[in-house]
Structure 1
């Protein structure tokens, strides 16, 4: 949508557009969150299936100093 078109719209039209965009974004965000949660669940299950003798790598909490 071009800026000129937006500037030509009335306040009511802009508010309706805002409402539509907000609803569409809400639906897309919920779907994206659901996908990420499902992916995290799958990754967690894969880690749980690892053999008990395998150690997982620890995540560094401090930066590595380079001399």
Structure 2
């Protein structure tokens, strides 16, 4: 989408575009956060496993 296209859009169209982009980014951020939290959890379990004197279940 080029600047001319954006300049030709009405306020309502621009707001709808903003809303669509906001929703798409929110979904992507939530997914990325979930993936990072899972990776941190896995790293935490590995770190616990490698600590000397730690009891493992």
When normalised by structure 1's length, the TM-score is: 0.75
Structure 1 CA distance, aligned partners of 2:30 and 2:51?
Answer: 35
Larger helix proportion, structure 1 or 2?
Answer: 2
Give 5+ residue unaligned stretches, structure 2.
none
Residue aligning to 2:33: 33
Query: Following superposition, which runs of at least 4 residues in structure 1 exceed 3 angstroms of deviation?
Result: none
Aligned length in residues: 53
The equivalent of 1:22 in structure 2 is 22
* Pairwise CA distance, 1:50: 0.6
After superposition, what is the alpha-carbon deviation per residue over 1:19-62, rounded to whole angstroms, capped at 9, x for unaligned?
00001111000000000000000100110111506xxxxxxxxx
RMSD over aligned CA atoms reads 1.1
CA–CA distance in structure 2, aligned partners of residues 37 and 27 of structure 1: 15
Q: Which runs of 5+ in 1 are unaligned?
A: 54-67
TM-score, normalising length: structure 2 = 0.87
